[in-house]
């Protein structure tokens, strides 16, 4: 908890001020950060790269499709090859849960998890917490509803681990096939429901999740009915606290998990989350490398 608080406090220093150009710092001058993404990304990869450059580091981004992975090179060989070029850190996204942890045991280079399979997305949870704290004085005592494809969501898992350290009342909601019952036991303060209206009632924060069709090997629900039962619409907002905020890690699928009227409403902080992605990743990189 203390480490999370330190990162969130430091990230505030890196938030952009209105009407002021961001000054490039030099706390990581001379450092090299490699972004290695084996899965698609817009927000995470770009924000890690911007964060590194704003701190004065050099940053190189590599995708699986544009690397020798597409020629059959293994994950270990790819990482060993990159490590031989002596980067100071490797930021890594991979479809296999645990891949960054496995590699961190064998490589001397610090590895930052930018999302591993269905396991964790720690910097997403940190930027989500930073965004909530930009709208609320404290996390303690809040009710946060996380709604959607819970089973495949590394964002949900990392948020549960983070928020449970702050006494948050966490409600996980989704279709029964995407809501593993054992998630109620992974951390204190977690309850489950399949009823979106029950989840949203009294919520301070409504966090919507993308349906991760790429991780589903069989149909988990009738495709045409998802939005009817689990899509967030304007009518739902009246059930939440009057000043409740709506979050989504992105990418959003309008009309599948969230209505455009909600995504673009005053309640939505989705683009604030993206802004905070840069600030939080600056704080993380600085903490690891400076
Ligand atoms: N939230 C998130 O991880 O987005 P990207 O997949 O675009 O990085």
pLDDT tens-digit map of 222-275: 777 899 999 999 999 999 999 999 999 999 999 999 999 999 999 999 999 999
249 C-alpha to ligand 1 centroid (Å): 7
Tell me which residue has its CA closest to atom 1 in ligand 1: 249
DSSP state of 251: -
Is 100 near ligand 1, meaning CB less than 6 Å away? no
Nearest protein CA to atom 6 of ligand 1, as residue: 41
Whether the CB of 158 sits within 6 Å of ligand 1? no
Tokens representing residue 16 in the block: 């952009």
Nearest-atom index, ligand 1, CA of 121: 3
Tens digits of per-residue pLDDT, 29-62? 999 999 999 999 999 999 999 999 999 999 999 9
pLDDT at position 76, please? 87
Closest CA to 93 of 84, 83, 85, 103: 103
CB 187 within 8 A of CB 157: no
User: How many A from CA of 204 to the centre of ligand 1?
Assistant: 23
Of the pLDDT bands very low, low, confident and very high (cuts 50, 70, 90), residue 221 is: confident
- Mutate which of 37, 42, 91 for ligand 1? The one with the most ligand atoms within 8 Å of its CB, which is 42
Instruction: Give, in order, the Cα–Cα distances in Å from 269 to each of 48, 87, 96, 161, 259.
Output: 20, 34, 30, 21, 14
User: Which residue out of 124, 251, 253, 277 has the highest number of ligand 1 atoms within 8 Å of its CB and is therefore the one to mutate?
Assistant: 251
pLDDT at 19: 59
More reliable by pLDDT, 129 or 78? 129
CA of 115, closest atom in ligand 1: 3
At residue 233, φ and ψ (nearest 5 deg) are: -120, 165
pLDDT over 90 at 192, yes or no: yes
* pLDDT digits 0-9 by tens, 3-35: 999 999 999 999 986 656 777 899 999 999 999
Cβ atoms 183, 158 nearer than 8 A: no
The rounded distance, in Å, linking the Cα atoms of 50 and 207 is 25
Distances in Å between the Cα of 234 and the Cα atoms of 20, 253, 267 are: 34, 16, 10
Identify the three-state secondary structure at position 190: strand
Mean pLDDT of 103-129: 95
What are the tens digits of pLDDT across the range 130-182? Answer: 999 999 999 999 999 999 999 999 999 999 999 999 999 999 999 999 999 88
């Amino acid at each position: 908890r203390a480490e999370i608080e330190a990162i969130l406090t430091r990230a505030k220093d890196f938030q952009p001020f209105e009407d002021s150009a961001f000054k490039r710092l030099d706390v990581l001058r001379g450092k090299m950060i490699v972004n290695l993404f084996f899965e698609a990304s817009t927000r995470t990869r770009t924000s890690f790269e911007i964060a590194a450059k704003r701190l004065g580091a050099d940053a190189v981004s590599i995708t699986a499709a544009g690397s020798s992975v597409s020629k059959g090179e293994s994950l270990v060989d790819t990482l060993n090859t990159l490590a031989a070029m002596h980067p100071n850190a490797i930021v890594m996204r991979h479809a296999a849960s645990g891949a960054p942890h496995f590699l961190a045991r064998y490589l001397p280079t610090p590895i930052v998890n930018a999302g591993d399979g269905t396991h964790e997305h720690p910097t997403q949870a940190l930027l989500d917490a930073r965004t909530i704290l930009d709208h609320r004085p404290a996390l303690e005592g809040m009710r946060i509803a996380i709604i959607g494809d819970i089973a495949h969501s590394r964002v949900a898992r990392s948020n549960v681990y983070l928020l449970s350290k702050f006494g948050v009342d966490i409600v996980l909601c989704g279709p029964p096939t995407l809501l593993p019952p054992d998630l109620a036991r992974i951390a204190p303060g977690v309850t489950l429901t399949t009823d979106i209206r029950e989840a949203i009632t009294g919520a301070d924060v409504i966090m919507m999740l993308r349906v991760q069709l790429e991780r589903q090997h069989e149909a988990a629900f009738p495709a045409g009915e998802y939005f009817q039962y689990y899509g967030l619409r304007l009518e739902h907002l009246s059930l939440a606290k009057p000043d409740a905020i709506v979050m989504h890690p992105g990418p959003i699928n309008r009309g599948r998990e969230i209505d455009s009227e909600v995504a673009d409403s005053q309640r939505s902080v989705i683009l604030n989350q993206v802004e905070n992605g840069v600030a939080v990743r600056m704080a993380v990189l600085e903490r690891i490398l400076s």
